[in-house]
Amino acid sequence: MALEGPVILAPMAGITDRPFRRLCREMGASLAVTEMVSAQGLARGRGASREIARGFLGEEPWWVQLFGEDPGSMARAAKIVEGMGAGGIDINLGCPVAKVVKTGAGAALLKEPARSAALVRAVRRAVKVPVTVKMRAGWDGGSINCLEVAKAAQEEGADGVILHPRTARQFFKGSADWSLIKGLKDNLTVPVIGNGDVASPKDALKMLDETGCDGVMVARAARGAPWIFRDILVYLERGEAPKPPAPKERLRVMLKHLELLGEEYGARLAMKRARMHFMWYVKGLRGGARFRSRISGVSDMGELGRIAEDFLLGLEEATR
């Protein structure tokens, strides 16, 4: 698994679609992973699953994350996405959401190390592209077994391991225990990507330093801030964190995002996602709450763009 850079956009269901991956890649993410795609859906030829797994034009490489619990359909799905041109396949061993866990997939696989090893084996045999696993620390505080699962994955031929060191039971409570990332790094030979609570360039450097991991993966902090990848790269290179983008620059990114969403989904369907992202883009800005309430009922892309322009150019004026 060769990484072009140290910072990767994490898979996020409903968020890391083609428009968002494209923005993040343009802003320095060396790789971006699709949201989790149902292996069964793909294996059964479901168009919607295939649609999620597709890369954007020029996305090179792109990685698809698969979830499932059946080695046979995981292998078939992996072959399909490899055939579509995906550059790598990540296996979801960490999703704690009930809908997924109750099917035996995601974090439920941490309770069944033999099955998770079988999934890696099946996918590894089915494709030539790199295969990684993304996991949590364990099912709960009494069963932290990420090292055992990661070692088995490595033995079965996984090319890298991504760890979000919270337990499935924790969801997002408490903080990520980065010492577990170090534990993997000290005991595995394949690359280890650290994930969890990287919210700033300083956090990224701290995680790299403390754990020795080969790269960091950012999820929540990229929402409404795709420039975080550029900021992290600049910080790692020069040791200085760039200032937050000026309102005008923020507006430019928002309008670009809106345009990409429009192209992807069409004006009507793009609106829900556009409003969601726009709410994140103004987080922490003065007057952000009023902006959010102004856009909450808007159903026209042009109007959404105009409200954003009005708000951010106003802020730009006020900061002069």
Ligand X SMILES: Cc1cc2nc3c(=O)[nH]c(=O)nc-3n(C[C@H](O)[C@H](O)[C@H](O)COP(=O)(O)O)c2cc1C
Residues that bind ligand X (CB under 6 A): 10-13, 15, 35-36, 65, 92, 94-95, 134, 164, 195-198, 218-221
Task: Return the number of the residue (92 or 167) whose C-beta is nearest ligand X.
Answer: 92
Task: Return the number of the residue (88 or 247) whose C-beta is nearest ligand X.
Answer: 88
In degrees and rounded to multiples of 5, residue 304 shows phi and psi of -60, -45
Minimum Å gap between C-beta 87 and ligand X is 17
Token pair, residue 127, equals 């494709």
Minimum Å gap between C-beta 197 and ligand X is 5
Q: Would you say 30 and 52 are in contact if contact means Cβ atoms under 8 Å apart?
A: no
Q: Write out the H or E segment, with its range, that includes residue 312.
A: helix 301-319
Strand partners, 194: 163, 216
Please report, in angstroms and rounded to a whole number, the separation of the first and last CA atoms in the chain: 47
Place of tokens 């429009």: 262
Minimum Å gap between C-beta 303 and ligand X is 26
Place of tokens 């696993």: 133
Q: Write out the H or E segment, with its range, that includes residue 91.
A: strand 88-93
Strand partners, 163: 135, 194
Task: Return the number of the residue (27 or 315) whose C-beta is nearest ligand X.
Answer: 27
Task: Return the number of the residue (16 or 311) whose C-beta is nearest ligand X.
Answer: 16
Residues designated catalytic: 95
Minimum Å gap between C-beta 90 and ligand X is 7
Other CB atoms within 10 A of residue 205 CB: 18
Minimum Å gap between C-beta 144 and ligand X is 16
Task: Return the number of the residue (160 or 247) whose C-beta is nearest ligand X.
Answer: 160
Q: How far apart are CA 275 and CA 296, in angstroms?
A: 7
Handedness of CA 50, 45, 40, 121 (dihedral sign): negative
